[in-house]
Structure 1
Amino acid sequence: MNTLKTGDTAPLFTLQNQFNETISLQGCLDKGPVLVYFYPKASTPGCTVQAQGLRDIKQQLDNLNITVLGISPDPVAKLQKFSDKQALNFHLLSDEDHAVADAFGVWGEKKFMGKTFDGIHRLSFIVGTEGKVTQFINKFKTKDHHEVILELFK
């Protein structure tokens, strides 16, 4: 796993969101910085808490012109159910073949409950308008991820 770091150029990508709309990183960068956060699986406890935190600070992020893109290997239909149930107000993107996760270096071996498998590591990146990673965020708890993000912009 060769994870992108601060200063690296973010790979441009285009994925479908929870409403089956096409969303591109470049289109979002035209409006300002982008928080690209990777999470393992929609509707699981940790992923739900993380998404709710971002939902609750959406206005503050909007005031800073920050677009939020949550990426998981879930299919569009599952993302829509997750979004609807949690009243999420930002894009959830489907990366079923984990090509974008691979490009960011967040797909790799994981261990959970004694089992080893490949999956998405819960990591976040702030991509600046020039397309470079300005912040690599790897130290946070799901319940305070949103606070860590806001703190970066104070």
Structure 2
Amino acid sequence: MINFNTKKRSSLITTSMLAVSLGVASLATHAALPINSTAPSFTANAALAGKDFSFSLDKALKKGPVVLYFFPVAFSSGCTLEAHAFAEASDSFNAKGATVYGITAGNVEKIKEFSAQECRNKFAIIADPGAKIAKEYDSLMVGKDKLLSNRTSYVITPDHKVLMSYTDSNPEMHIHKTMDAVTEWQKIKK
């Protein structure tokens, strides 16, 4: 019989070895903030439709749930694909009372251009220089020469609770997972 601690330690070692063997260096192997935990408040520079503004999570949550998705680097193929998908789904999220925000620690100097071109002026991109916010949200990975945001999506309710968290380097399921969580939240609120 294997006790829980041995099983957990074995799983952590296996996950770490897999990450190393795949060439993925990660500071956190456990994914993200847990469900029902409190999402940390933050303010940061952001851009929407190529225009700068100051983002506040507290202010955004006053309007309804927030879909906050972390991505590694603007204009990379996966991040561009994910931005297009969130742009296409933005109206559906808005109809359910939720607002989408992307956040990146990679090439933050390009968020204005990325918000207009790849996000198609549909949602804002938040700059996270030095990956400080990513660290608070357990969404941190090591890039070639700096800390980056891991591809993690959250749905945060107006009372700052994490309703959903999902980490996967493949950008394709993030839309489905966040939309399902927002849909369930909307049903409960009615």
Q: What's the TM-score once normalised by structure 2's chain length?
A: 0.71
**Runs of 5+ in structure 2 lacking a partner?**
1-27, 185-190
Bigger drift between 122-131 and 144-153 goes to 144-153
Give 2:78's aligned residue.
Answer: 46
Give 1:5's aligned residue.
Answer: 34
Of Structure 1 and Structure 2, the greater helix share is in: 2
Does residue 178 of structure 2 align to residue 149 of structure 1? yes
Counterpart residue identity of residue 103, structure 1: E
Offset at residue 73 of structure 1 (A): 1.3
Distance 2:110 2:169 in 1: 25
Counterpart residue identity of residue 17, structure 1: A
Q: 1:69 aligns with which of 97, 101, 113?
A: 101
Contact 1:8–1:132 at 8 Å: present in 2 too? yes
**Runs of 5+ in structure 1 lacking a partner?**
none
Name the larger-Rg structure: 2
Give 1:119's aligned residue.
Answer: 148
Q: CA RMSD in A?
A: 2.1
Distance 2:138 2:168 in 1: 16
Percent identity reads 25
Offset at residue 117 of structure 1 (A): 6.5
Give 2:130's aligned residue.
Answer: 97
Higher RCO by CA contacts (8 Å cutoff, separation 6 or greater): 1
Distance 1:97 1:62 in 2: 30
Of Structure 1 and Structure 2, the greater strand share is in: 1
Q: Tell me, what secondary structure is at the counterpart of 1:149? A: helix
Contact 2:153–2:167 at 8 Å: present in 1 too? yes
Q: What's the TM-score once normalised by structure 1's chain length?
A: 0.87
Q: Tell me, what secondary structure is at the counterpart of 1:98? A: helix
